[in-house]
């Protein structure tokens, strides 16, 4: 290998590095060939090739570093990696075709050595160009992700400066004057492969909504989807009817994270409207867990009655304690009896269906209902008292009783 290098240098030692406007002409022609990219992206690349062809000199580390910097410049200027590489290859080809006759020798060994030297520089230069380009792209992606994450946090929190938020929304395609709705998707397991999930869901939501005014991201381990809520939705004519239906079907179709639950807030206008819709969806997920709802899709409208209950927590806590408080004295505690009431009301007060759901006999369910009546003084099977008991059961689930001590909060 060393002998070959010495032979190459010996065969070209008498030549001198060509100078003149012809290098500039080569650079301009190469730029035109690949689509009018800035000529500055070639930097000192062509002199390096000419130098290698005439003297056999290999590029210095600093010269390759300069080409790496040009790769970064190309990325920052929005030139694609393919175009940047094509520019360097086109420039090398044109330079070889127009080299002065001093290196177009009749000696095949001299020509072979010059070609090998040029190809060696092209190889190293293109590798360093791409390395610099990729590093710049990685930094740009990290910077964009930081901006995106900060924007989403401020947008969903709802306390950022409105004017600033409107400006920051433009690069993401969000028109803050339109009404939007927010949907949250929560996996039963830890969310893996976040970027793949986001990309796939964003494509599905954009295709369904027929609008670029869409944003999909992650927050607190949940997937967040923000879409406009005005006008007709093209995808709803032939596919899922609502945003919640779409997310649930997409996640269930390709999920590796177990069952999903999706909650959708109501549409609201403006930046504060997005934050409000997000809070409704977040509250929906929380309530669904507390109330042990079986439906995987929760709409904010379905939970309005529960929000009414929670507006006066001292009053609902008082109701729970007054109606159900004595259940703690039952053998096994209050939870088994509370679960029985929960299932009884969820099944439309049908004892046989309640027994099936709880994996008990009908006789056991009847015994528990009688025991509840004896302890509390309220009969859940009596239509006149059923509403009071049911409201107390809902309040208990919402407040986390009997696991939480409501006496502290009264």
Indicate if the pLDDT at residue 13 is higher than 60. Answer: no
What is the reported pLDDT for 341? 94
Indicate if the pLDDT at residue 174 is higher than 50. Answer: yes
Answer yes or no: are the C-beta atoms of 248 and 297 closer than 8 Å.
yes
* pLDDT tens readout for residues 101-156: 545 566 678 788 888 999 999 999 999 999 999 999 988 878 888 888 888 888 88
Percent of the chain at pLDDT > 90 equals 39
Read off the pLDDT of each residue in 84-112 and give the average, rounded to a whole number.
80
Read off the pLDDT of each residue in 163-189 and give the average, rounded to a whole number.
84
Using N-to-C axis directions, what is the helix angle for 81-97 and 45-55, rounded to 10°?
Answer: 40
What is the reported pLDDT for 408? 44
Read off the pLDDT of each residue in 227-231 and give the average, rounded to a whole number.
80
Q: How many Cβ atoms from other residues are within 10 Å of residue 286's Cβ?
A: 14
What is the reported pLDDT for 237? 63
What is the reported pLDDT for 130? 95
* 3-state SS, residue 325: helix
What is the reported pLDDT for 60? 92
Indicate if the pLDDT at residue 11 is higher than 60. Answer: no
Q: How many Cβ atoms from other residues are within 10 Å of residue 108's Cβ?
A: 8
Answer yes or no: are the C-beta atoms of 223 and 244 closer than 8 Å.
no
Provide the residue ranges of all domains of the chain, joining segments of one domain with +.
2-138, 177-306, 312-409
What is the reported pLDDT for 154? 87
CATH number of 312-409, picked from 3.40.50.300, 3.40.50.720, 1.10.10.2840, 2.60.40.10: 1.10.10.2840
* pLDDT tens readout for residues 344-372: 998 999 999 999 999 999 999 999 999 99
Q: How many Cβ atoms from other residues are within 10 Å of residue 300's Cβ?
A: 23
What is the reported pLDDT for 217? 86
Residue 167: exposure state from Cβ atoms within 10 A (0-12, 13-18, ≥19):
exposed
Q: Look over the chain and give the mean of its residue pLDDT values, rounded to a whole number.
A: 84
For the domain spanning 177-306, the CATH number is 3.30.70.270
What is the reported pLDDT for 221? 83
């Amino acid at each position: 290998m060393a002998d070959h290098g010495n032979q190459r240098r010996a065969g070209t030692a008498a030549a001198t590095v060509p100078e003149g406007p012809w290098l500039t002409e080569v650079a301009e022609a190469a730029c035109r060939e690949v689509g009018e990219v800035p000529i500055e992206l070639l930097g000192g690349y062509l002199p390096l090739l000419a130098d290698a062809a005439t003297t056999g000199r290999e590029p210095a580390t600093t010269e390759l570093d300069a080409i790496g910097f040009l790769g970064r410049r190309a990325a920052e200027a929005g030139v694609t990696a393919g175009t940047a590489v094509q520019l360097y290859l086109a420039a090398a080809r044109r330079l070889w075709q127009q080299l002065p006759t001093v290196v177009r020798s009749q000696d095949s060994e001299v020509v072979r050595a010059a070609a090998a030297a040029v190809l060696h520089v092209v190889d190293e230069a293109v590798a360093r160009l791409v390395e610099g380009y990729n590093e710049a792209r990685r930094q740009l992606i990290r910077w964009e992700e930081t901006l995106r994450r900060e924007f989403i946090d401020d947008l969903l929190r709802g306390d950022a400066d409105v004017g600033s938020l409107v400006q920051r929304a433009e690069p993401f395609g969000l028109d803050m004057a339109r009404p939007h709705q927010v949907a949250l998707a929560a996996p039963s397991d830890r969310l893996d492969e976040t970027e793949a999930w986001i990309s796939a869901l964003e494509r599905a939501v954009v295709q369904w909504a027929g609008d670029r005014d869409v944003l999909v991201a992650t927050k607190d381990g949940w997937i967040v989807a923000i879409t406009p809520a005005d006008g007709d939705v093209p995808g709803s004519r032939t596919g899922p009817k609502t945003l919640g239906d779409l997310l649930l079907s997409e996640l269930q179709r390709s999920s590796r994270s177990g069952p999903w639950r999706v909650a959708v807030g109501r549409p609201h206008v403006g930046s504060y409207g997005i934050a409000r819709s997000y809070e409704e969806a977040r509250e929906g997920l929380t309530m669904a867990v507390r109330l042990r709802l079986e439906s995987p899709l929760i709409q904010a409208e379905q939970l309005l009655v529960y929000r009414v209950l929670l507006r006066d927590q001292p009053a609902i806590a008082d109701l729970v304690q007054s109606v159900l408080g004595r259940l703690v004295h039952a053998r096994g505690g209050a939870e088994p009896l509370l679960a029985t009431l929960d299932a009884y009301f969820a099944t439309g007060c049908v004892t046989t269906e309640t027994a099936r759901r709880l994996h008990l006999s009908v006789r056991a369910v009847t015994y528990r209902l009688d025991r509840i009546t004896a302890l509390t003084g309220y009969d859940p099977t009596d239509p006149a008292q059923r509403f009071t008991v049911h409201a107390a059961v809902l309040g208990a689930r919402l407040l986390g009783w009997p696991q939480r001590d409501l006496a502290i909060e009264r």
